[in-house]
Amino acid sequence: MANNKKLQIAFIGGGMIANAHMRYFHDDRRTEIRGLADLNETALNNAGAEYGIPHLTTDYKALLKDPKIDAIVVCTPPGLHCKIGNDVLRAGKHLIMEKPLTRTPTEAP
């Protein structure tokens, strides 16, 4: 029996890199973009409208609490990768993140 459940994706960060990734996930019939967090409300609302994202927030931790979200794509400035990435993993979500994972080797837990 085939599993027809779509992978529920959320994004933290809604800038240029995120938009490139959002296009891919939006067009992939196996995934659905469920949430987006960004501090820039204009970017948040524009991406939400373009990709039909139902859960928009300026607080990324709200996405971590959503039990329907399977994986989170972190598209923030590199200096935020380590903290946000660890928060995502601690919340039990799958993590997708571009390099660098940390700014320095000592920053890694």
pLDDT (tens digit, 9 = 90+) per residue, 57-79? 999 999 999 999 999 999 999 88
Q: Give strand pairing partners of 12.
A: 37, 74
pLDDT of residue 29: 95
Cα separation, 38 vs 3, in Å, equals 32
Residue 1's pLDDT is: 43
List phi, psi (to 5°) of 23: -55, -45
Per DSSP, the three-state class of 43 is helix
Given 3-state DSSP classes, what are the helix, strand and coil percentages for the chain, each rounded to the nearest 5? 40, 20, 40
The more confident residue out of 65 and 100 is 65
Beta bridge partners of 9: 33, 71
15 vs 107, which has greater pLDDT? 15
Question: What top-level class would CATH report for the domain 7-107?
Answer: alpha beta
**Every domain of the chain and the residues it spans:** 7-107
